[in-house]
Amino acid sequence: MKHIKLIAIVAATAMLAASCGQKKEAPKDESPKYLVLYYSQTSNTKAVAEEIAGYLGADIEEILAMQPYDGDFQATIERCMQEREQGVKPEIQPLVADVSKYDVIFIGYPVWFGTYAPPVAALLDGVDLSGKKVVPFCTFGSGGLESSSKDLVAKQPNAEVLPGYGVRAARLEAMPKEVEEFLKAGEFIEGEYTSLPDFSNMHDVSDDEAAIFNTAVDGYPMLNAEAKSVAVRTIPNGTEYLFVAIDKPRDAKADMPPADELQVYVTVVEGETPVFTKVVR
């Protein structure tokens, strides 16, 4: 009997040891996989792309045209206009990244003619982003995030296009902090961010507010408008204005947008000159 009990004890001890020795299965990594794709001609969009990828630890790849837009501003505009008239898009180099392996794809571009640059249009024609979360980001002279985002939704209707980020090339020094706030607000990275209040109700522009608007847009050749009404809100270290403005009469020019009503966002940081951040047409 003692011999039987001893055998039972030894067997139980061996089973316990074997159980303790087994490795626990590592939990699966449920964090999303990020990819940052971007086209950049002047390196402004590249700077934003690298900032985003750095925060997320994301893979990053540049969209490259087979025939680069390597001319000056006017040459680029003329080529782009010609391609638009002919209904053609530039050929781009095949992507190295396999987009099917990523959950969230950031797509960056400069805004040309109110939407994403042609190499990005070529990319969107050749890739299926169905089921992916897509985050647009862009650089621009005056605006274009909203219009290009709408075009992106139309081009990739089965993707979930999330709110994007845009910055004027003239304000690129403000980009790193804004990108950080944007990524926090979108819950891509952890951390507290500043939640801005709603704008006040619209009211007629006062003389002082008109002066702020005129100072902010002074010297920008693509924006020749008169402010009619405005809403205001407080931002860290200053005030943000949302102006509704009307284009002033102008001579017909091929490189100027048609006269219309537009929204102009202006910030005034304490002690600094007013600056417009974007235009929405």
Structural domain tally of the chain? Answer: 2
Distance (Å, rounded) from C-alpha 32 to C-alpha 187?
12
Residue 16 lies in a domain: no
Same domain, 157 and 60: yes
Give per-residue burial for 71-95: e unless 16+ CB within 10 Å, then b.
eeeeebbeebeeeeeeeebbebeeb
Please determine, for residue 186, whether its predicted confidence score (pLDDT) is greater than 90: yes
DSSP, collapsed to helix, strand or coil, labels residue 171 as helix
Residue 4 lies in a domain: no
Same domain, 112 and 64: yes
Residue 6 lies in a domain: no
- CATH (domain of 128): 3.40.50.360
Residue 195 lies in a domain: no
Same domain, 51 and 163: yes
Same domain, 72 and 134: yes
Same domain, 83 and 145: yes
What pLDDT shows up at residue 260? 81
Residue 51 lies in a domain: yes
Same domain, 81 and 180: yes
Please determine, for residue 7, whether its predicted confidence score (pLDDT) is greater than 60: no
**Domain ends where: 159, 185, 211?**
185
Residue 128 lies in a domain: yes
Range of the domain at 169: 34-185
In contact, 240 and 246? CB cutoff 8 Å:
no
Average pLDDT score over residue span 229-236: 96
Same domain, 70 and 207: no
Residue 127 lies in a domain: yes
Q: Pull the structure tokens for residue 145.
A: 């995030």
Neighbours of 27 (CB within 10 A): 6
**Domain ends where: 119, 154, 185?**
185
- pLDDT tens-digit map of 76-96: 989 999 998 998 999 999 999
Torsion angles phi and psi, residue 106, rounded to 5: -90, 130
- pLDDT tens-digit map of 56-68: 999 999 999 999 9
Q: What is the mean pLDDT of the chain?
A: 89
What pLDDT shows up at residue 253? 56
Same domain, 157 and 237: no
Same domain, 61 and 181: yes
Residue 12 lies in a domain: no
pLDDT category at 100 given cuts 50, 70, 90 is: very high
What pLDDT shows up at residue 70? 78
What pLDDT shows up at residue 178? 97
The pTM assigned to this predicted structure is 0.86
Same domain, 40 and 138: yes
What pLDDT shows up at residue 248? 83
Same domain, 221 and 146: no
**Domain ends where: 185, 218, 240?**
185
Same domain, 95 and 130: yes
Q: Pull the structure tokens for residue 9.
A: 């004890």
In contact, 209 and 241? CB cutoff 8 Å:
yes
